[in-house]
Structure 1
Amino acid sequence: MKMAKIGVVFDDMDAELKWSKKRNLFEYFIFEILDHFRIPYEKVDLMDKYNSFDVMIVSHIRDSEEACSKILEYIHAGGTVVSYGGLDSIRKKLGFSNKLASQKGYADLSAFLNQHTPLRFLDAEPWTHETDLDVTEFGAVADEAKTWQGVSALQQIKYGSGTLERWSVSIPQTIVGLQQGTKPVIEDGIPAPDGTANLDEEILKAEDGFELCWVQDRAFTETGMPYFPHPYADLWKEVIMEHLLKIVLGKGLTLPFLDYWPANVQHVAMISHDSDLNVDESAQMTLDTLKAENVQSTWCMIAPGYSSSIYDQIKKDGHEIALHYNALEQDEGIWSAEAFQTQLDWLEKTTNTNNTVSNKNHYTRFEGWGELYTWCENNGIQVDQSRGPSKKGNIGFLFGTCHPYFPIAWADEKNRLYDVLEIGFLTQDLNHNTLSDVSVIQPFLDGVKRVNGVAHFLFHQYHIYHLPKVREAIVQLITTAKTQGFTFWTSKQINDWERARRGLTINGISYSGDIKVTSRDEENDFMLLIPIAEDHALADDEVIVRRFGFNCKQVQMKRT
């Protein structure tokens, strides 16, 4: 099969204008989504030629007659355009209206995609069908109050010889809002109505900016533990992928991509610890527990730290030493670039290590939008783990994701992608008397398996030592996860792998059916996949896996 040629339109000149007016263009996050899948694409500007592309994804264009004519000319000549909201100038030209104000809500896509959970969205711009054009509508969106009636999630609009596939939901913006919030953290979040998550405690935290609904988005385990069960952001990424593959295969083409993990790794789990009270005995108990279970973890260290012999054992056992940046005023912490650098210097001197890779903020302290990521960049920190819950009632997929991702900056930095991999966590200290119990382990593992992300659990060494039930919980987690095919990695291992993936570029498909790639490293266990038609005749040596609702052929990587 021939590989589809994908173009992504981003109007750089208009973007500069919007940024100068402090307007965010979170549409830019489509590049991070495609890069994570390693989808081959070409970024094009408004004035570039489009006729060589099989599919054009319109990320951002100016609202002008010129832009409208350029896109419509491409469609009329037989092209396919995909848009996630927007295209207001084209709406007017085609005779649609948008009488519904944008709101938060849920999309039901089960009738046409492999998504059976109503997906929360944070922004939608439905078009009302008032035209003689051939329009096919798919799925349904409803606002939170369910006042929208008969509003479709996707409109497939025939125009000339081509098609405009327009989503009502602004999907990249929704993903950003779920993962990072919709505004900087400058005030406390709204607490849970049942009293299980007191976010209004006058401590600014990552979760103060979360965008899920306490009522509609939480579930409860058989023991009554509340949790957020759906990785909405990751599921929206799968929607983008499944829809794109459906278009491409419908054209008799294919679109190779890179699977999330190495060929010999089925699922990935991670355990991190925050040293907090820094009791040597608690560190030793944790080391002994992990050694007995043959698991390596990530140790986030806060001053004054452990004795030097503990650090020697941490390194000897293959664990990762990371920073636990303290900006909690009650613990004499400060939120500043200088404090971050000072604490990192202390860590590396005290532990006799260099090139620290990872950080997690003490008490999930977080302010603003991207200051933390800038500090990480400036100090060589490649991974942050601060986006996770601190309360009993907001555990789970609080930020809609369990995938590593590169966060997007605010308009003042032109919505660039930070060079810091975010690996959030799901919960902490299971079986602690003020937190959740082990009944959430299976739902969390199931949710992670569903989207092939990272099952990241936090356990404080102090609680492992002082609370036998917490120690039992970490052993139960490890045993359960291993039984279900999870491999435990440290934060550094996940970072190294993800950055290695990002160094691989898919260039095409040879006549023999092999994917041609270039790669910056010598990894030999990448799992490359070629989506194939359902009636594809399989050779005896072909291995087929199911991804995003389609059969995909695993192929041997060929370097060029």
Structure 2
Amino acid sequence: MSMQAVKIGLWCNRNAAEYHWKHGQNIFQLYIEEILSHAGIPYRLFDQAEQLSAYRPDIIVNVLAGEQEEDLDRLLKWVEEGAVVIAYGGLNRLASRMGCVEVSCREAVYAEVEGMEAVLQGKLLRALCSQPWKPLAGHEQTASPLAEAQGKLRLGKAGSELGAACLAFRVGTGKLIRWNVDIPSTIVYLQQGRGPVYQDGIPAEDGTGGIDEGILKADDGMEVDWKEDRVKTDSNIPYFPIPYGDLWREVIVHELMREAAGLGLTLPFLDYWPRGIKQVAMISHDSDFNSEEAARTTLELLRECGVRSTWCMIEPGYSREMYDMIAVAGHELAFHFNALEAEGGIWSQEEFSRQLQHLRQASGADIVSNKNHYTRFEGWGELFRWCEAEGIQADQTRGPSKKGNVGFPFGTAQPYYPIAWADERNRLYDVLQIGFLTQDLEHPMLPDMSVIEPFLQAVKGVRGVAHFLFHQQHIHRIEGVREAFRAVVGQAKNLGYTFWTCAEITSWEQARRNARFSVDASGALEAGNLPEGAVIRYYRHSYSDVEEDSKRDRYGLPCPEWSGMIKGAAKRTR
């Protein structure tokens, strides 16, 4: 079997991008960089056509081709010459040339994606940015180069069919795959919202999600639907069960692997976690009332359960003696920024900096992560810019604030880097986001333990981070919360989870991203500066059907360790 690696090029026309930014338009399709980087997939981004042509990618992902005739002609020429070009929406001036017509769609839709049953298990995926094409009448069998239509888009999970999820066109010796969903933008909208948070979100009609309480926070910008996207446990607890964004990531990677195989090539990637780790669980605490008695109870429970956790400290915090006890036990000290106006908080960079400096001085600790009190959040990128300026490398703010929106209100269990608005040219912020699933299970105002199993199973399915928040005060005061804590730890360990702190997750993800991992012009894999424990895998498409069914271990596909040659391979310790 060939071990030649596929060359993937991302195409973003520099002139078209500058035009978009000049007019304040986002290019969230650029988020494909973050998607591939987190998946550990080697790629190269090009903004000049000559450089892309010289590299001769086997697969070209269209980020922004431009709307001029010569831009589209150039793209089709690459297809004609044998490349597989994948577009997530866009290219609407090409519709008629492909024998199609664009259909207007302003609503969220649900996609039925074919060929991924092992991953999706019948789930429909919420899509927030769809730009459907439909074949023109009379062109299906004649003038249209349409090769195949895959999947379906629906208006609502049980609604009318809008068209295919994906269309593929044979042009020359290559193929143009045009998704009717802008997948990268959909992932951004799920994770970060459609726009800045400046007003309350829409509450749940059943009273379980009163996010309209006059406090701006992360879940005021959530883009899942209270009715379509929630289910209930056997004890009648509503929750969001599907990490839509993570499953869309899986769709992207699965397709790249399949298309590479169709070219007789393979797609290598750096596995999410180091050797021996399947998925990660994380426990964090918010010190809110700063009770040292509650801190001691929490330390004892952590010792009993054999896990280390992340302690998010709010001003004025603990004594230096208590901070030292926490650190000696191996736990992480983190920041808990208080911008809650009812408690005298202020949403400003100056206040963020002042509170953080107080914690650093009082604790003597190297503070690298933060979670905002009450998940306070407003705007789009202000918080991330403050974190960058103050050396905060990870944030945990994006999680549910109410009993009725626990689970995946932001569509993800993956650690990810958020994207900036057009005024910052849609750069990635250097602040890893690690959201949480729920707070204080078995607290009278919050869900019971019935959500633990579905949450852990869902995160396991995407090999992400199962992050549970428990306040020290509730651990101390409520026996049910302590029992829920024990249940989370016990069930997670039984499912093969490894417990890490936020700082450890961040350190590992940074090390993965700092590795040199690429495919040269000849198709040879190059790697260097790999963190200790890093595992390179690839999609092996030569298994028999029987073997493959038993080895679908990554993205619904068999992906053993890479056994081919690697140029310049070298590892380092984390």
TM-score higher than 0.5 here? Answer: yes
Deviation at 1:308, TM superposition (A): 2.1
Deviation at 1:9, TM superposition (A): 0.2
Does structure 2 retain, via aligned residues, the 8 Å contact 1:534–1:551? no
C-alpha distance after superposition, 1:260-313 (max 9, x if no partner): 111111220000000000111000000000011111100000011122221111
Counterpart of 1:341 in 2: which secondary structure? helix
Identify the residue that residue 428 of structure 1 maps to in structure 2. Answer: 439
Q: Distance in 2 between matches of 1:331 and 1:105?
A: 40
- Report the CA distance shift for 1:342/1:82 in structure 2 as closer, same or farther (over 3 A): same
- Report the CA distance shift for 1:248/1:6 in structure 2 as closer, same or farther (over 3 A): same
Counterpart of 1:550 in 2: which secondary structure? coil
**Does 1:66 find its partner at 2:75?**
no
Q: Distance in 2 between matches of 1:311 and 1:217?
A: 41
User: Aligned letter for 1:72?
Assistant: L
User: Aligned letter for 1:518?
Assistant: G
Select which of 97, 102, 127 maps to 1:121: 127
**Does 1:238 find its partner at 2:250?**
yes
Instruction: Give runs of aligned pairs for residues 37-436 of structure 1, distance below 5 A.
Output: 37-48=39-50, 49-50=52-53, 52-110=56-114, 114=118, 115=120, 116-130=122-136, 131=139, 132-135=143-146, 136-144=148-156, 148-149=160-161, 151-354=163-366, 356-436=367-447
Does structure 2 retain, via aligned residues, the 8 Å contact 1:111–1:138? no
Identify the residue that residue 561 of structure 2 maps to in structure 1. Answer: 554
Does structure 1 retain, via aligned residues, the 8 Å contact 2:116–2:556? no
Identify the residue that residue 485 of structure 1 maps to in structure 2. Answer: 496
Counterpart of 1:177 in 2: which secondary structure? helix
Select which of 474, 481, 486 maps to 1:475: 486
Counterpart of 1:97 in 2: which secondary structure? strand
Between 1:529-538 and 1:250-259, the stretch displaced more is 529-538
Q: Percent identical across equivalent pairs?
A: 46
**Does 1:529 find its partner at 2:533?**
no
C-alpha distance after superposition, 1:168-191 (max 9, x if no partner): 000000000000000100000011
Deviation at 1:460, TM superposition (A): 0.2
Q: Distance in 2 between matches of 1:537 and 1:431?
A: 45
**Does 1:441 find its partner at 2:452?**
yes
User: Aligned letter for 2:46?
Assistant: V
Q: Distance in 1 between matches of 2:447 and 2:552?
A: 36
Deviation at 1:110, TM superposition (A): 3.9
- Report the CA distance shift for 1:147/1:485 in structure 2 as closer, same or farther (over 3 A): closer
Query: Which structure 2 segments of 5+ residues have no match?
Result: none
Deviation at 1:471, TM superposition (A): 0.9
Q: Distance in 1 between matches of 2:97 and 2:525?
A: 41
Deviation at 1:143, TM superposition (A): 2.0
Q: Distance in 1 between matches of 2:126 and 2:171?
A: 30
User: Aligned letter for 1:529?
Assistant: R
- Report the CA distance shift for 1:232/1:147 in structure 2 as closer, same or farther (over 3 A): closer
Select which of 31, 34, 48 maps to 2:36: 34
User: Aligned letter for 1:93?
Assistant: R
Q: Distance in 2 between matches of 1:113 and 1:438?
A: 29
Between 1:84-93 and 1:419-428, the stretch displaced more is 84-93
User: Aligned letter for 1:418?
Assistant: Y
C-alpha distance after superposition, 1:49-77 (max 9, x if no partner): 43721111101121110111101111122
Between 1:341-350 and 1:133-142, the stretch displaced more is 133-142
Counterpart of 2:468 in 1: which secondary structure? strand
Between 1:147-156 and 1:408-417, the stretch displaced more is 147-156
- Number of aligned residue pairs: give it: 552
Does structure 2 retain, via aligned residues, the 8 Å contact 1:133–1:158? no
Between 1:180-189 and 1:472-481, the stretch displaced more is 472-481
- Report the CA distance shift for 1:478/1:59 in structure 2 as closer, same or farther (over 3 A): same
Q: Distance in 1 between matches of 2:364 and 2:159?
A: 61
Identify the residue that residue 450 of structure 1 maps to in structure 2. Answer: 461
Deviation at 1:133, TM superposition (A): 2.4
Q: Distance in 2 between matches of 1:137 and 1:72?
A: 19
Select which of 421, 441, 460 maps to 2:471: 460
Between 1:72-81 and 1:404-413, the stretch displaced more is 72-81
User: Aligned letter for 1:160?
Assistant: G
Between 1:71-80 and 1:192-201, the stretch displaced more is 71-80
Does structure 2 retain, via aligned residues, the 8 Å contact 1:105–1:143? yes
Deviation at 1:537, TM superposition (A): 12
Q: Distance in 2 between matches of 1:223 and 1:145?
A: 24
Does structure 1 retain, via aligned residues, the 8 Å contact 2:110–2:157? no
Counterpart of 1:284 in 2: which secondary structure? helix
Q: Distance in 1 between matches of 2:160 and 2:173?
A: 32
Does structure 2 retain, via aligned residues, the 8 Å contact 1:40–1:505? no
Does structure 1 retain, via aligned residues, the 8 Å contact 2:40–2:272? no
- Report the CA distance shift for 1:161/1:340 in structure 2 as closer, same or farther (over 3 A): same
Deviation at 1:42, TM superposition (A): 1.3
User: Aligned letter for 1:50?
Assistant: S
Deviation at 1:472, TM superposition (A): 1.0
Deviation at 1:474, TM superposition (A): 0.5
Deviation at 1:46, TM superposition (A): 4.7
Does structure 2 retain, via aligned residues, the 8 Å contact 1:429–1:463? yes
User: Aligned letter for 1:31?
Assistant: E
Select which of 14, 17, 39 maps to 1:15: 17
- Report the CA distance shift for 1:252/1:64 in structure 2 as closer, same or farther (over 3 A): same
Select which of 527, 542, 555 maps to 1:517: 527
Deviation at 1:413, TM superposition (A): 0.7
Identify the residue that residue 517 of structure 2 maps to in structure 1. Answer: 506
Q: Distance in 1 between matches of 2:66 and 2:102?
A: 18
Q: Distance in 2 between matches of 1:143 and 1:536?
A: 38
Counterpart of 1:401 in 2: which secondary structure? coil
Q: Distance in 2 between matches of 1:30 and 1:536?
A: 32
Counterpart of 1:553 in 2: which secondary structure? coil
Q: Distance in 2 between matches of 1:263 and 1:151?
A: 42
Does structure 1 retain, via aligned residues, the 8 Å contact 2:286–2:312? yes
- Report the CA distance shift for 1:75/1:469 in structure 2 as closer, same or farther (over 3 A): same
Q: Distance in 2 between matches of 1:465 and 1:25?
A: 47
Counterpart of 1:554 in 2: which secondary structure? coil
